[in-house]
């Protein structure tokens, strides 16, 4: 496909990235939000903090593995294109919104060992694409990442 066709179809690199990223995040192009997909439903259905941490870490792994290669490209491009920089900021904000929703549910259930705002910020940082990329660069497997995130959530923000 020619560059001209891409720009006529999507307009900007950021618009193309958004279209591809949306499919990568969800896993397909069905009109179902990430929040309504099975992984998020498992997080909501968790019966206790241990199950919640495991379900959340599994969801973060699933999303990171699907969107990770694309995020690598975007992280490398940050600062080089104003539209990409704006889109990256939007993704950070969307991750914060999703994290806020899950932490709010955990707070309502009395699962947090710390202030909800602090817990939200910690989780937001832990599930950053940059953090996932660091684990990949160190040779961690998906299982390693998921186990680390589960244990870290339990240790830092969730009640035993």
Query: Concatenated DSSP letters for 7-64?
Result: HHHHSSHHHHHHHHHHHHHHSSSSS--GGGSHHHHHHHH-SSHHHHHHHHHHHHHHHH
d(CA 129, CA 70): 10
User: Which residue do the tokens 């241990």 mark?
Assistant: 50
Residue 71's domain spans which residues? 3-156
Q: Is the pLDDT of residue 124 over 90?
A: yes
pLDDT tens track for 9-62:
666 666 666 666 565 555 566 665 767 778 889 999 999 999 999 999 999 999
Confidence (pLDDT) at 19: 63
Q: What is the pLDDT of residues 90-110, one digit of tens each?
A: 888 988 999 999 999 999 999
Q: For position 74, which CATH number holds?
A: 1.10.357
Looking at residue 101, its pLDDT comes to: 95
Supply 11's token pair.
Answer: 């307009």
pLDDT of residue 59: 94
> Between 104 and 84, where is the model more confident?
104
If one counts the domains in the chain, the total is: 1
pLDDT in tens, 132-147: 989 999 999 999 999 9
For tokens 């792994």, the residue is: 61
């Amino acid at each position: 496909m020619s560059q001209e066709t891409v720009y006529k179809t999507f307009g900007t690199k950021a618009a193309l990235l958004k279209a591809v990223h949306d499919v990568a995040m969800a896993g397909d192009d069905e009109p179902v939000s990430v929040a309504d997909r099975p992984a998020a439903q498992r997080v909501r259905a968790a019966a206790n903090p241990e199950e919640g941490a495991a379900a959340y870490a599994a969801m973060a792994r699933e999303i990171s593995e699907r969107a990770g290669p694309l995020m690598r490209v975007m992280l490398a491009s940050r600062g080089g294109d104003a539209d990409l920089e704006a889109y990256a900021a939007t993704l950070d904000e969307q991750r914060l919104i999703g994290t806020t929703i899950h932490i709010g549910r955990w707070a309502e259930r009395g699962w947090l060992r710390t202030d909800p705002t602090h817990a939200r910020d910690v989780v937001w940082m832990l599930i950053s694409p940059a953090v996932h990329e660091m684990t990949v660069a160190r040779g961690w497997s998906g299982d390693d990442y998921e186990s680390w995130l589960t244990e870290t959530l339990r240790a830092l923000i969730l009640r035993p």
